[in-house]
Each structure stands twice: as structure tokens, then as C-alpha cells.
Chain A
Amino acid sequence: MDSKIKLPQIIITAFMAGLFVLAALLGMDIPELISGSFTKFVMNGVLVLAMIPMINAGVGMNFGLPVGIVAGLLGMCMAIQLRMTGIAGFLGAVALSVVPAVILGLIYAKILNMVKGKEDIAAIFIGYSFIPIMNFVWTVAPFTNREMLYPVGAEGLRPKISLENYFGSVLNELFVLKLGKISVPLGLLLAYAAVCLLVYGFFKTKSGSVMLAVGENEKFCQLSGIRIDRVRTTAIVLSTVIGAAGICVYAQTYGFVELYNAPLSHSFPAVSAILIGGCIGRQAKISHAVLGTYLYQTIYLLSAPIANAILIPQMSEIVRMIITNGIILYAFLKQERRRRQ
């Protein structure tokens, strides 16, 4: 795979630069926007990394990201229940979410291995059908911390649990570097870099490189005596675990744990981001995820106020939808064209 940045990435980068110029012309606070772009970037970055193992094993896009997210939510709820706070609280939440992530990942993998060839669409519906089940679970789960429950009646988890007293913004406020007016959240970026490095390292190991090979040529691997389904399962579980960690990072920045239907809103943006980064189907690299997340999130961050200012209010949501879904469609078209060549 050549790592050259290709035309679509150049166009999107140019578009982003154009937005910055436009924002400046409209008199917006550029340093604040840049600082915001860093936070947004890492906030979503780990969720995008959750795409990589599945794509590389040839299982397709992780449209079932909500499965991993739910595992992360369970982990965070347990951490809140145990009243864990600060960095330790955050790490505790991640650790607690690994167990549900592995269990759910195995089930997810079992289903995807049964629908070989149609993983993308199956994964979307796994996400959609899993959320209502979880909605039920959230209302009856035996959590007792009052801060998590509905204020009235004190039964069932509330849709938005504040992390203020637990581990909200712990990474954001870690080692913040001030460069003039721009603040760079070093701790957050370092944490993200660490996760990237872990994923990168994994693909250098034996089981990581088998995963790449399976993604490239399943038949070949099978004829070499590799247990395809096992490799695919590993990839899916790994994606799910990264997804769980991803939502923990997201939630600590956001300041709230969002339950119920919220997990659904993360999968398409994450898929979009890695596609914008230059991944087209078979092989996804860390660089795709990093570049894609930054471009996607920053464009969204900028286009929202700009669109609101020069077009109509609420335009931002429309722009977001067009970018997110349009890029997925574009990637499918491109994949198809490649396949036919």
C-alpha cells in the first residue's frame, strides 16, 4: 500500500483550510476553534480506531460499533456505581468494560461469521437491534448510585449521567500546554497516541500479520492451514474492545455518559472518518484513522457555526448528515469500481 496522500484527501484538506479562512473572515475565534479541534479529534479518535482490526481482517466496516459502545457504557456505569474518580476512575472504567466487550464481541463475531459476504449490512442491523434490548436493560439494571438514576422515582438509569463528580475531563485537563491563545491538551493527545501505538504494534505481531493476510486473501490463508473464523473472531473482539475504550474517552471529554439510543449516533461518523482518511475497503492504516478523524471532526466543528451564520440556523446538522452519509456512499462506489477493474 502506498502511503501517498491521494486526491480526495487533498481536496478535503483544502476544503478544511477554506473553512478556516471563512471562519476568520466571519470574525470567529480561530485559536479557540483550533483548540477545540484537538479535543474533538481525540474525543472521537479512539472510536475510529475501532474500525481498523475488522477492516484489516476483511470483515468490513465496523457498523456494529454500538456493540462496543454499549460494553464501554456498562464499564462506565459500573465505575460510577463503585464511585471511582479521577484518572484511576477513568482507567477503572476502561478496565471494567473489557469483560462485557469480550463477551459481546464474541457474540457479534459469531453472527458475522455466519453471514460472510454481507457483514456490512448485518453489522448495521446488529447495532440497530441490540440498542432496544439495551434500552430495556438500562431501565431495570440494579444500579443504586442516585446520581445515575432518574431523579424522580429513583428507578432506571437516566439517559445522561454526569461525570462531573467522577472522571469527567480528566484527560482533557492533563498537561494542557498553552501556546499563545491556543491550548493543546497534551495528556489527551498522548493517551490517543498510546492507543494508536498499541494497535500499530498489534499488527506487527504474528496474529496481527495473519489478520492482514486473511483480509487480503482468505482462500490463500485457508489453504495455508489458518483458521479463518478464529482470526476474524479475534479481529471483531478487538474492534469491540477498542470501541468500548473509545466511548470512555468520548464520555470523559463530553462530560456525560449517554445511554439508550445514543450509541447509534457514533457508528456512521466513525465509518465516515476512516474513509475520509483514505481507507478504501480492504486495508486500513492508523494514518487513515488519524488523518480521517481530524479532517472529519474539524470540518464538522467549523462548518457548524459557519453554516449557522451564513445560511440558516440548524444548518449544521444537515451539513453533518450530508458529509457523513455521502462519504460512505462514495466509498462504496469506489470499492465497487476497484473490484471491477
Chain B
Amino acid sequence: MGEYVLEVRNLEKYYGQNKVLDKVSLSVRKGEICGLIGANGSGKSTLMNILFGNSIIAGTGGYSGDVVFEGEKVQISTTTEAIGRGIGMIYQEFMLIPEMTVAENIKLTRENTKRIFGRALGSELSYVDRKKDSEDAAAVLEQLGFQIDNSYLVKNISVNAKQFVEIAREVNKQDLKLLLLDEPTAVLNDEDAGKLMKVLKELAKKGTSIIFCSHRLHEICEVCDHVTVLRGGKAVSDYGREELDMRALARDMIGYDVTAVKKERRNQEKKAVLSFRDFSVYMPGEFLDRLNLEVYEGEILGLTSLSGHGKLAAGYGVMGQFPVMGEFLYGGASMDVKNVRKTIEHGIFLLPDDRKNMGLLLEHSVRDNIIFSGFYGRNLFQKKAGGIFSVKDKKEIDRYVKQQIEKLDIKCGNPDQKVKELSGGNQQKVCIARAVLVAPKVLFVMEPTRGVDIGAKEKILDMLVQINREQGATIVVASSELEELKRISDRIAVFCEGRLSQILTPDASDEEFAFAFTGEEGEDGQ
């Protein structure tokens, strides 16, 4: 084994108050492929951004800890500097210029130039040698084993091909010492992913070190020399090549020490209240791919996945927040998701995960927030003044708000306090109180316990069960907290890469969940 190319020691990074990296240490030797796995939000991308000198890091207050590159302590603050040091990065989203050809994209900023002009005008203004660029590009594409005419415009080539162009661009760099890959195979089919694996191995053999991020566990197991698992900003475990085990990786990544909760099974009639038919939602970062699912009347259905894998998309799709394809049926009738008001009038309601931007009126009082949807959306609390004008029934509102504050134990000075002054848990309780008032037939709840302290969590879960049992509402909960879903749900649908991977019962085994999360078939892991 060669010397360390990269050593990261005690890296810490905050975004505002959020600690996204917590004392992460990592080292990569020359010619080694280091796997980095973790759910989205575990800090992978942040780590990559630090190493590649992305300006977002400096712009949000920098980081603490050491990055040692080739034995020298460095603080890479621009991507130009990173590239200068021989670090390359391949992003999850394409960083290609659509209006340029394949060859131009590959050679961008490293164009061959005609000597004579360079002498006269300096390298910045010298004439680009297109022919030589094209030859270079063809050579590198061949090396990757991928065939494409490099005079095509990038906007016209397939997603697969784009990924290869991106890889080719990095591989073409002469002095590439460290290559960072952020989910490079997410858009590739198996065959192309296989090709990429081969290229990576060859690159490593030539002495380039690679950090490979993915949550396709079998790929990680195939190519990596060692693997670090990140969870919630911490490096939770580190495995050498010999110790690699998909099951252990999956468990570390999701991080549940799941205890089997005994829950009384209810015998329910399986009458579909909602049906999704090939329902796709084009939600940025949470694409949902052709969902076919029935939601039964009166059940609590949990939706879960690693973040970015589609658990949130169904609800937002139903509420017309993003473009959708396919059909969504309510009680057997097809619904127009664009008409949100109609959907709500039919009794479907959603509590969003982004409380600050979608779930609350921060500048308004607790009272206004609790009654808002009922008062304005459903015309509750109206009384006739003088028989003509309908006005707010203030007394009734006060009574209701007070009752809800007590029932949900919302900690606020008084109902006039602004919601932005409450803690996350209490804000979520305000949201729940708002939903209770609307008395929906079907309630979608997104990440109800995110950013909520433990006491409030119990109360919120209790309330959801109560709404389900007492108001007879069907509840669809999308959450990344599997343990909580197991406690309240009748069924749990697990998504992976935008597709429904399995529907499990809450008492299904840990392994079954782990595999469903990663989209792997159980047998592969044996």
C-alpha cells in the first residue's frame, strides 16, 4: 500500500445551527478506492464539497478540522485550487454545458491550442485546436469503453451518455490524483454501471485515488478497498475489503436498532380509499416513479425511504405541488390534482414537512394558525351578523383554540403569541391542531417528528393515532423515522430510487427493511 494521499482529521461543519459533519476522520491511500456511504443528509456531499473547495462551504462559515493532501495541510477554498492540486469531482447532477459538443465539454478549460497564436496573444486568447481536442476526447472515451460520436451536442445525448462524458472529462485530466464521485451510478443502467466500475478499478491501478459515494451497496462491495459509513454527520463505522458485508452496511447506514414493537393488529376491511395508478411525481430531489398503490380506508400507512428516494413525493403530488403523470383515484373517482381546493373539499389534507415555508404562517399568532385552514378553507366559525354579513365567531374560536392548546400541550404564552417564537415541537403541534379542525377523511403527514424533541414526539404520534381512531381518518405518514412508523402504522411502504420497493408489516424483520431501503433483493446479500 502506498502513502496516504488524503487524510481528513476531525472535520466539523455547521450550516447555521445544524451540525452536518461531526468529527469525521477519513484517510485514503494512493491508488485506493474508498467507499463513502450514508443516507442523504448524512454529510457525504458536504464532505465532498469541502474537499473540492466548493464556495458554498466558505460562504456558510467554513469548517474546522484538518485536511491533509499529499502530506501537506491544505485549506482548499476554490474549485480552481482543487483542480490545480489534481482533485477532480463528478457530481450527482450533471455539470455539463448542453449547447457544447461532447468533445468541447470534455476538453473545456484544458483545450489544446495552436502554438503560434499562443505566442502572440497568450494562452487565454490563443486559437483552439478543435481537431486535436476531438482526438483527445475520442481517445479517452475509448479508454472508458463507451462509444459515442463526440461531435454531438451534449443536450441531445442520453442521460447515460452524459454521465460518461462527465467521467471522461475528469479521467482526461493528466495529473488526476484524487477523484471524487458523488452518486455517479444513480442514473446508469446495470451494464453501464458495470463499465464504470471497470474504469474506476483501472484508474486506481494507475495510481489515482478515488472516493466513491453511492448507496448502491453491491457496487460499493464490488470496487471499494475500504468503506466508511456516515450517519447524521458522524463516521459511524469503517470496514476493510475483507469485512464488507452488505447487511452490516445497510444497518449502519440506516442506523436503527429496531426493537420489535408488539402492536395489536386490527382486523380491517380492505376497502381502497385512495388508489395510485402509475402515478409519477416530478418533485426535484424526490422523484416518484410510477407508483401503484392502494390506501385502505381507516388505516395508517407509513411511507419511508432514504431521503431523496420518493417518500414525500406522493403526498405533494396529490396536492398539486409538482407536475404529475398517471392517475390518482379517490373513492374510485379520478381526481384532478391541479385543483387543490377541490381536493381539500373532498376531505384530503396535507401537513407539509417544511414547516417554516409551507406549514405555518410564522408572523401570525398561534390562534390564527390553528384556525386558518378551517376558517378560510372550509368556512368554519362563521356567524351571521345582522343576518347578512358573515363574521368571525370570536368566542367559538377562542374556546376551540384554548381546548386544543390544552389537549396538545402546546407550550405558548398565550394564543396571540407569534408562531415563529415557538419551538419546533410546539410548531408541529400547532400544525396538527390545524389539521384536526379540518377533520380530513384522508390526512397526509410529512415528517411529523422531524426536528421535534422527544416529549413532543410522543404527543404528536399519539395525536395521529387519535385522529385515526376517533375521527376515522385514513392517515398516510411519510417519515424517515422507521421506528416511529413501526409503532403507529398498519402497513409500511418502503421506497427506493423513486420506486415502491416493498410493502411490509410493522413486525417485518430488520433485514427485510434494510434491503427494502436499498432496493436490493434479499438473496443478493446472502
Residues of A within 8 A of B (CB): 1, 206, 210, 213, 216-217, 219-227, 283
The distance in angstroms between the C-alpha atoms of A225 and B320, with both chains bound, is 11
When C-beta atoms are compared, the residue in chain A nearest to B350 turns out to be A223
22 A–B contacts from the bound complex (CB under 8 Å) = A206-B376, A213-B361, A213-B372, A213-B376, A216-B361, A219-B352, A219-B357, A221-B376, A222-B319, A222-B320, A222-B340, A223-B319, A223-B340, A223-B358, A224-B376, A224-B434, A225-B341, A225-B345, A225-B376, A225-B377, A226-B376, A226-B377
User: Are the CB atoms of B360 and A217 closer together than 8 Å?
Assistant: yes
When C-beta atoms are compared, the residue in chain B nearest to A227 turns out to be B341
The distance in angstroms between the C-alpha atoms of A225 and B319, with both chains bound, is 10
Between B340, B345, B363, B376, the greatest number of chain A beta carbons within 10 A of the residue's beta carbon is seen for: B376
The distance in angstroms between the C-alpha atoms of A206 and B373, with both chains bound, is 13
Is B362 positioned at the interface, with any CB of A under 8 Å from its CB?
A: yes
The distance in angstroms between the C-alpha atoms of A225 and B377, with both chains bound, is 5
User: Are the CB atoms of A217 and B357 closer together than 8 Å?
Assistant: yes
Is B378 positioned at the interface, with any CB of A under 8 Å from its CB?
A: yes
User: Are the CB atoms of B357 and A216 closer together than 8 Å?
Assistant: no
The distance in angstroms between the C-alpha atoms of A226 and B341, with both chains bound, is 6
Chain B residues whose CB sits within 8 angstroms of the CB of A213 once the complex forms: 361, 364, 372, 376
Chain B residues whose CB sits within 8 angstroms of the CB of A210 once the complex forms: 376
Chain B residues whose CB sits within 8 angstroms of the CB of A1 once the complex forms: 363
User: Are the CB atoms of B363 and A216 closer together than 8 Å?
Assistant: yes
Is B392 positioned at the interface, with any CB of A under 8 Å from its CB?
A: yes
Is B452 positioned at the interface, with any CB of A under 8 Å from its CB?
A: no
Determine which of A206, A220, A222, A225 lies in contact with B361 in the assembled complex, contact meaning CB atoms within 8 Å.
A220
Chain B 14-50 interface residues, beta-carbon cutoff 8 Å to A: none
Number of B residues with CB within 8 Å of any CB on chain A = 27
The distance in angstroms between the C-alpha atoms of A221 and B340, with both chains bound, is 10
Is B65 positioned at the interface, with any CB of A under 8 Å from its CB?
A: no
When C-beta atoms are compared, the residue in chain B nearest to A213 turns out to be B361
User: Are the CB atoms of A219 and B361 closer together than 8 Å?
Assistant: no
Q: Given A219-B358, A225-B340, A226-B377, 19 more contacts at CB 8 Å? A: A206-B390, A213-B361, A213-B376, A216-B361, A216-B362, A216-B363, A217-B360, A217-B361, A219-B321, A220-B361, A221-B376, A222-B320, A222-B340, A223-B340, A223-B349, A223-B359, A223-B373, A224-B373, A227-B341
The distance in angstroms between the C-alpha atoms of A32 and B340, with both chains bound, is 58
User: Are the CB atoms of A225 and B373 closer together than 8 Å?
Assistant: yes
User: Are the CB atoms of A223 and B341 closer together than 8 Å?
Assistant: no
The distance in angstroms between the C-alpha atoms of A222 and B359, with both chains bound, is 10
User: Are the CB atoms of A223 and B352 closer together than 8 Å?
Assistant: yes
10 nearest A-B residue pairs (beta carbon): A225-B377, A225-B344, A224-B373, A219-B358, A224-B377, A225-B341, A210-B376, A216-B361, A217-B361, A222-B340
The distance in angstroms between the C-alpha atoms of A210 and B392, with both chains bound, is 13
Chain B residues whose CB sits within 8 angstroms of the CB of A226 once the complex forms: 341, 376-377
Question: Known interface pairs A213-B372, A225-B373, A226-B376. Does A220 touch B360 (Cβ–Cβ under 8 Å)?
Answer: yes
When C-beta atoms are compared, the residue in chain B nearest to A340 turns out to be B59
B312 to chain A, nearest CB (A): 13
Chain B 372-421 interface residues, beta-carbon cutoff 8 Å to A: 372-373, 375-378, 390, 392
A209 to chain B, nearest CB (A): 8
Chain B residues whose CB sits within 8 angstroms of the CB of A223 once the complex forms: 319, 340, 349-350, 352, 358-359, 373
When C-beta atoms are compared, the residue in chain A nearest to B340 turns out to be A222
Chain A residues whose CB sits within 8 angstroms of the CB of B377 once the complex forms: 224-226
The distance in angstroms between the C-alpha atoms of A110 and B360, with both chains bound, is 28
The distance in angstroms between the C-alpha atoms of A17 and B357, with both chains bound, is 42
Chain B 477-511 interface residues, beta-carbon cutoff 8 Å to A: none
The distance in angstroms between the C-alpha atoms of A43 and B240, with both chains bound, is 80
When C-beta atoms are compared, the residue in chain B nearest to A222 turns out to be B340
B94 to chain A, nearest CB (A): 25
A224 to chain B, nearest CB (A): 4
Chain A residues whose CB sits within 8 angstroms of the CB of B349 once the complex forms: 223
B315 to chain A, nearest CB (A): 10
Chain B residues whose CB sits within 8 angstroms of the CB of A219 once the complex forms: 321, 352, 357-358
The distance in angstroms between the C-alpha atoms of A225 and B438, with both chains bound, is 11
Chain A residues whose CB sits within 8 angstroms of the CB of B378 once the complex forms: 225
